[in-house]
Amino acid sequence: MLTVALLFGGRSSEHTISCATAGGVLSAIDRSAYRVIPIGITLDGAFTLQPDDAGLFAMDPANMPMVADNGTRVHFPASATSREFTVTDADGRTTSLGDVDVAFPILHGPYGEDGTVQGLLELVGIPYVGNGVLASALGMDKHYTKTVLEAAGVSVAPWVTVSPAQWRGDNTLWRGRAASLGLPVFVKPARAGSSVGVTKVVSLDDLDAALDIAWAEDSTALIESAIVGREIECGVLSGRDGGPTRVSVAGEIIVAGDGFYDFEAKYLDDSAAQLVCPADLTEGELGQMQRIAARAFEAINGSGLARVDFFFTGTEFVVNELNTMPGFTPISMFPKCWSATGMTYPELIDELITLGLSAVR
């Protein structure tokens, strides 16, 4: 039986979504094959030992799950010569948690999805699920994701990236660059997910307020052209044993009214959007999307998994984002797409662990 350290929570604004993902994994992972150590990271960054109870972390819009600081502290191995984790309880007693075979970091946002935890795991020699340091850092930063994808010949929405200092230093220049993108535009933090800090701007008069919202999440913000098209997503997995990158069927997000797929629509309001999988695409359109998704994943040196989000204009697939640790609750689009492709949620968890154990870092 393999031992899996499940890392979740974290310091980012997506803390609660990570906890909900943990609930999904805890409820579905094969207990005959894996012993699970649930390591919850508090909003303050404390590594705590949490109960192995999926119900504590179930998605509840009225009471979103969080990691409670129960006074325990989990300690990583002292060096790469050991895989033993230990825990100190609230009374100061330290005991062994045993050796860990693989870590499963289901952390979203900064301090988890951005290469920081991946670097920690590599320092102490623990194999882990998902993307490596470089791909995680690239995928977390929308500006650099777009830069790399554009260089690889993948279509992305036109954008400009600006910091508060740049905006204050030459407001006329940057306002002009924003205006050249046309209206509406979307203003986003460069490094955040789950649509946190994202604003749709239909008037340049609202640009300053939208930038302040984005800068509250990160030190730089993107101003991005709005692409008119269907919102199409797919899941990506690394190939096995040097084989080709695998891409799922497509899913589609149909947003009610004139809104966009914001945090509330994703997690709090079931009526705000409809997730359809598989999406209604022709065989040729699906093949085109899958080829572009694989090219995008390989362009960032992806490993393990990703979700690639597109706008489909009817003639072209434009990549909106590449998410290196997508939402992973049983009802999230990534597992939905793989389920429609023929891989169940428990099988997907098993596949990701297998890929993590065999990854070459």
> Are the beta carbons of 152 and 295 closer than 8 angstroms?
yes
> Are the beta carbons of 178 and 203 closer than 8 angstroms?
no
Q: Cis (ω within 30 of 0) for the bond into 184?
A: yes
Q: Which residues of the chain have pLDDT under 50?
A: 262, 265-269
- What is the rounded CA–CA span in Å between residue 331 and residue 293? 21
Residues of the chain with CATH 3.30.470.20: 138-155+228-358
> Are the beta carbons of 112 and 105 closer than 8 angstroms?
yes
Q: What is the pLDDT of residues 176-229, one digit of tens each?
A: 999 999 999 999 999 876 677 899 999 999 999 999 999 998 999 999 999 999
CATH topology of domain 159-225: Dna Ligase; domain 1 (3.30.1490)
Residues of the chain with CATH 3.40.50.20: 2-128
pLDDT, position 61: 80
Q: Which residues pair with 73 in a beta bridge?
A: 88
Q: Are strands 2-9 and 102-105 parallel, antiparallel or unpaired?
A: parallel
pLDDT, position 255: 78
CA 147 to chain centre: 19
Rounded to two decimals, the pTM is: 0.91
Which of 303, 25, 126, 51 has the alpha carbon at shortest distance from 17? 25
- What is the rounded CA–CA span in Å between residue 234 and residue 75? 36
Eight-state DSSP code of residue 221: E
CA 104 to chain centre: 13
CATH topology of domain 2-128: Rossmann fold (3.40.50)
CATH of 138-155+228-358, one of 3.30.470.20, 3.30.559.10, 3.40.190.10, 3.90.1150.10: 3.30.470.20
pLDDT, position 253: 94
Residues of the chain with CATH 3.30.1490.20: 159-225
pLDDT, position 269: 47
Which amino acid belongs to residue 292?
A: I
Q: Rg of the Cα trace of the chain?
A: 20
C-alpha dihedral (190, 192, 193, 196), degrees to nearest 10: -100
Residues 6+ away with beta carbon under 8 Å from 54: 23, 24, 26, 27
